[in-house]
């Protein structure tokens, strides 16, 4: 699916140039994306991109806010 999306992006990106939305696509992040598919396949998901940490922080902050509330609404 990611590879198909990558092909579609490159197939249709000329539309953005034609409509003067972008003048070109010489963007380092766009270049880096072509390496993501093989990196994920070879190495797995990158450490630090798990949602466990942010979810835990949300729980902690929600508990703190609830502690300061009237605990009814």
pLDDT digits (tens, 9 = 90+) for 3-27: 888 889 889 999 999 999 989 888 8
pLDDT tens digits, 19-59: 999 898 888 888 888 888 788 888 877 776 666 666 777 77
Domains contained in the chain, number:
1
66-70 long-range contacts, Cβ below 8 Å, gap at least 24?
A: none
Largest CA distance in the chain: 57
CA dist 37 and 4 (Å) reads 11
Q: Is residue 73 part of a domain?
A: no
Residue 13 backbone dihedrals phi, psi, to 5 degrees: -65, -25
Asked if residues 10 and 34 have their Cβ atoms less than 8 Å apart, the reply is: no
Q: 26 is in which domain, residue-wise?
A: 2-68
Q: Is residue 36 part of a domain?
A: yes
For the whole model, what pTM was predicted?
0.46
pLDDT, residue 52, reads: 65
């Amino acid at each position: 699916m990611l590879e198909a999306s990558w092909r579609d992006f490159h197939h249709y990106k000329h539309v953005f140039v034609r409509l003067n939305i972008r003048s070109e696509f010489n963007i380092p992040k766009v270049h880096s994306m072509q390496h993501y598919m093989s990196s994920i396949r070879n190495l797995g998901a990158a450490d630090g991109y798990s949602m466990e940490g942010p979810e835990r922080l949300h729980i902690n902050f929600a508990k703190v806010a609830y502690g300061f509330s009237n605990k009814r609404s």
